[in-house]
Amino acid sequence: MQKLVESKNIVPFLRWTGSKRWFTKNHISEFMPKKFADYHEPFLGAGAVFFHLINNLAEERRYFLSDFNDDLINAYIQLKNNPADVITHLKGFTNSEQEYYRIRRLNFEVPEEKAAQFIYLNRTSFNGIYRVNSNGLYNVPYGKRPKVDYVTEDLLLNVSNCLQDVVIAGQSFEKSLDNIKRGDLVFLDPPYTVAHENNGFIEYNQQLFAWEDQERLKNFIERLIEIGAYFILTNASHTSIAELYKGIGSMKKLSRSSQVGGRNKTRRMYNELVISNINS
């Protein structure tokens, strides 16, 4: 069992498009149940909600983190089990455009090296986007941030410490049902299949998370309700999503600024939907 210590102030170690740090800073308290048993996050990404709970809750419970992105999950597992090796490999890289594309081309086989490569590319790429081509190869361009600290040794060691009793798995969201029981809390932040508001489908996301996957996710949530688990789902504010989840829990629209491209003062505001069966 993991016992959480208040005010650890551990932040996500990855930059992640669609990160829910804005949600944890401004909104999460209004959606949290007063009490819950274990915690599950099947679309892990940068894990903003998980780290928020690590910082702020003191109750003992088990934490189950998973994602279908094998490279992402390998980074978490290697930080949990072999943080010193990951940090050593990170320190062996340098932050330049030439080095970035050299590292991006390499096909590491040792898990610790693959984790270091993943973290390095994430920290030095353009806007922390995770994108692969039709061959499954990472193809995000260099971010031109030569002074960024891509090692953050203290942070990675703290992350490793807080992951020691956490269950981490590379799997589909449906597989997480094996561990979910009545009274558990499940936070779901799937890749967005549709653009915000009524701007149509995000075509590049269709291979990552198609509309059929959104329908599978709805069925998954209906199963959570049958089990008696709590859920919080974030998704794009779009008529198709609102219609899909009509009659399931409560639905609230929240505004946030865009997290991709441009300076903060020029970024647009977007609405997102939060759907939950807590206090519904």
Q: What is the pLDDT of residues 102-116, one digit of tens each?
A: 999 999 999 999 999
Q: What is the pLDDT of residues 184-212, one digit of tens each?
A: 999 999 987 665 455 444 443 445 688 89
For the chain, which domains are there?
2-65+175-276 (3.40.50.150), 73-159 (1.10.1020.10)
Q: What is the pLDDT of residue 201?
A: 43
Q: How confident is the model at residue 262 (pLDDT cuts 50, 70, 90)?
A: very low
Q: Which residues pair with 275 in a beta bridge?
A: 233, 251
Q: Which residues pair with 187 in a beta bridge?
A: 232
Gap between the Cα atoms of 23 and 25, Å rounded: 5
Of 191, 104, 172, 184, nearest in space to 143 by CA: 104
Gap between the Cα atoms of 80 and 165, Å rounded: 9
Helix ranges restricted to H, 82-166 = 83-91, 97-105, 111-124, 153-162
Strand residues in the chain grouped as ranges (E): 2-3, 39-41, 60-61, 63-67, 167-170, 185-188, 230-236, 250-257, 269-276
Gap between the Cα atoms of 104 and 125, Å rounded: 10
Q: What is the pLDDT of residues 49-64, one digit of tens each?
A: 999 999 999 899 999 9
Gap between the Cα atoms of 125 and 143, Å rounded: 4
